[in-house]
Structures are given as C-alpha cells and as structure tokens.
Structure 1
Amino acid sequence: MANSPSRTPPIEIASDQEIVARVLQGDSLLFEVLMRRHNQRIYRAIRSIIRDDSECEEVMQESYVRAFEHLAQFEGRALFSTWLTRIAVNEAIKRSIARGKLDPMDLEDFDGENGAMLARYANTPTPESNAARSELTSLLEESILALPVAYRSVLVLRDLEEMSTAETAQVLTLTDANVKVRLHRAHEMLRSELMERAGASSAGALLFHATRCDRVVHAVFERLQHMAE
C-alpha cells in the first residue's frame, strides 16, 4: 500500500469524498482518517444489532475491510457515512444470523435488501461500564439494548447518531414512513418518562472509547497490509 499523504486540502478540513478520492489514488493510509471520523457511528450501528459487545470490534474490522475493498464502488450519491454504515449494518446482520442470534420475529422486520439477505441466511448483557458514567445512562443503555433489533437500530441511528430519516432509511433499506413509525414505537417501548429523565445523557450511551478506536484502526491496517502482500 502507498503511504504518502499529500497536498491540498488539509486533511482536517477535507471532506469524506475528497479523502476517498485520495485513497483511491494511492494514499491508502488516509483510510485511517475515515475510520476515526466514523468509528463512533459504526460502533453504535453494529451494537444496535449485536448485543454482545465483545463481537462488535470484530464486525467493525470486517466492515472496514469490506469498505476498503469496495471503495471504488462508492459513487457519492449518498453520504460516505451512510454508505459505510450500511455496510456495517449488513455485516452485523450476517454475523447475527450465522451465529443464530437473531430471533425469528426479527427476520420479519427487515425489508428491501436486508430482507432478501435475511431470507438467504435464515437457515444458516450488560453494556460496558464506565466509572465516570452515571447510573441513569447505564439504565438507558440497558433499555435500548432490550428493544427488538428492528426498533433498536432505528432508534440508535436517529436519536444517538442523529442521522436524518432519509439517511436511516437508506442504511436500513426501509421507507421514510417505516423509519418514522419504528422510531415512534421505539420511544413508546423505552417509555417517555425514561427518555425525559435521561435528557442530554442519551448522547453518552454506547460510546466507543479512544483505546478501542486505536485497536480497531491498527487491526484493520494489519489486515489490509496482509492482503496487499
């Protein structure tokens, strides 16, 4: 892999699309910038489907490797973050099905491409604690993870990651109307009083901390290096 980050615009202000273009031109190490920019969102998207936190980093690595391999297929019609999150969601679903961790009822709640994928594969918990986190945030995390996956995914992407209805619909291959309905039902399940009490603390739920970010980035580049050799 080439490793000569270059020229303008400065990486700090370059858009995702500009960085993608530079990676495709040979500045492979700049892929790290994309990973670090989106690690939090990708972690939350995967965690919304996979309840076992220990598996999340593996799925993140697989998602990034797959994204790197198919980077030339990114056409810019959607945001790069949306394209990347969709890859991560698909990887999480495949992992869950392969390990028998999606309930039959969950399989009925995915439409479009994800629905077709689930049909093909159909035969085949405590959130990590942090001393600085409040008991209320931990309670919110547990409540989110207790939701059925179809509602949990929508809630995490819309409320925690603040993706738009349209972006969420693209990632989960749903209609805008379905996203709105599921978000409403997810809020009902969580109970309005819990969400009100949590308030701004909800943004602190399902955080992906710096040491884990470093670990994922390092592991992905090791895999890419082996592939290049």
Structure 2
Amino acid sequence: MSDGKLVHAVCNVTEAQERVSDEMLLRNVAEGDKAAMHVMFARHHVRVFRFIQSIVRNAAIADDLVSQVFLDVWRSANKFESRARVSTWLLSIARFKAFGALRGKTHETIDQDDLGGIVDDADTPDVALDRKETNAILRACIDRLSPAQREIIDLVYYHERSVVEVSEIVGVPCATVKSRMFYARKHLAKMLVNAGFEAAAV
C-alpha cells in the first residue's frame, strides 16, 4: 500500500464495519485485507494525528507521521500481542515516530493548533469566545509543563487513556505515571491560579 493510497484511504464505513472490533480488524489487516486497513485508518487517524501533533507541534510533520504509523500497522499487524488495546498500540507506535522526528529535526516547530479549541455551534458568540480564551490559557499552561508531565496530561485528559494504558505507551511503571500526573496537576493548578482562575474552580 503506497503512502498516497493510505493517506486517502478514508472511505465510507458501513454499520456492520463499525461494529467490528479493532482486534478483529487488525487480524484481517494481518491477512492482507485492505478494506480492513481502510476502516482502521478511518477509525483512528484523527486521534493519532492529534496525539502526534501534541508532541511535534507541527501539523505538516504530524500528517506525514500519521501515514508512517499506519504503514507500520499494515506491515506489522501480525506482530500485535493482545496485552493492550489496539488503540493503545497505535499510540505507542505514534509516540515512537513522533520522538524520532523530534530527534531528527533541525528547524523550529511552527504550528500551535489548540486541541481543545473546538467551538460548539450552539454557543453564543460570547460563550464561544470565552471558551476559546479559556482553552488557549489552559493549553499555554500545559505547554509550560515539563515534556514528561505534559505527555501524561495529554494522554490522560485529551486521549482518555487509563494509567495502565499510559504506562504501556510511555514505557514506565504505573507508579511513575501516577507520580508524574500528581505533580503535573499540582503545577498546572498553580499556573492557572496565577493566570487568573479562581482556586476553587481549579
């Protein structure tokens, strides 16, 4: 499967396909089923893109790395071991690709898309503006955390991963994940108060 075909592999997914588990899809992918690969890509590419972008801070690089992640999935689906969810395995691959790209980068990152800045169409302009400003402040505070703490916050709160799943993705013990999350939340709360948020709300 070429890069070009994979990037444009988002296809119409039937209700029956939507009910197929990730594990079943991956087994089919391992057998060379391109339709299953298309469904896998359609189901997970946005989450993978957002996760990578939160690390590399560059939309163009993230987009390229998403293609690489799913090419790896296509090539190594038969190596998946069911010790973790497929989505957790995907984020592990994505993390490896993202940090590999960071190590090889020689230029500054240029994109600062706000992952939390999606506006609800039902909001009034004032509410939407307030939410956008709040999200911008929150993201700015998160960006000031250490890379290790920022990664934990992103995985737990933006990608809704459990402590066990974060441990699998990052490759550290659960106790370390909990410790990083505790200190990250503590530092984040302090920064938010300094930014003008009420302590009780934080």
TM tier, smaller: 0.7 to 0.9
Gaps of 5+ in 1: 2-8, 103-124, 198-229
The alpha-carbon deviation at position 131 of structure 1 amounts to 8.1
Residue 188 of structure 1 corresponds to which residue in structure 2? Answer: 186
The alpha-carbon deviation at position 137 of structure 1 amounts to 1.3
Kept in 2: contact 1:147–1:186 (CA 8 A)? yes
Quote the Cα distance in structure 2 between the aligned partners of 1:191 and 1:141: 13
Tell me the percent identity: 26
The alpha-carbon deviation at position 172 of structure 1 amounts to 0.4
Q: Does 1:12 align with 2:48?
A: no
The residue correspondences of 1:86-125 to structure 2 (distance < 5 A) are 86-99=92-105
Residue 68 of structure 1 corresponds to which residue in structure 2? Answer: 74
The alpha-carbon deviation at position 101 of structure 1 amounts to 7.6
Quote the Cα distance in structure 2 between the aligned partners of 1:89 and 1:126: 18
The residue correspondences of 1:133-172 to structure 2 (distance < 5 A) are 134-172=132-170
The alpha-carbon deviation at position 194 of structure 1 amounts to 3.4
Residue 82 of structure 1 corresponds to which residue in structure 2? Answer: 88
Q: Please list the CA deviations of residues 11-66 of structure 1 after superposition, one character each: whole Å capped at 9, or x if unmatched.
A: 11110011112222332122122122222331232123212333211111111111
The alpha-carbon deviation at position 126 of structure 1 amounts to 5.6
The alpha-carbon deviation at position 127 of structure 1 amounts to 2.5
RMSD over aligned Cα atoms: 3.0
1:38 and 1:25, CA in 2 relative to 1: closer, same or farther beyond 3 A? same
Residue 48 of structure 2 corresponds to which residue in structure 1? Answer: 42
Higher relative contact order (CA 8 A, sep 6+): 1
2:133 partner letter: E
1:146 and 1:57, CA in 2 relative to 1: closer, same or farther beyond 3 A? farther
Q: Does 1:127 align with 2:133?
A: no
Kept in 2: contact 1:48–1:149 (CA 8 A)? no
TM-score (ref. length: structure 2): 0.72
Kept in 2: contact 1:127–1:141 (CA 8 A)? no
1:27 and 1:79, CA in 2 relative to 1: closer, same or farther beyond 3 A? same
Residue 174 of structure 2 corresponds to which residue in structure 1? Answer: 176
Q: How many residues align?
A: 170
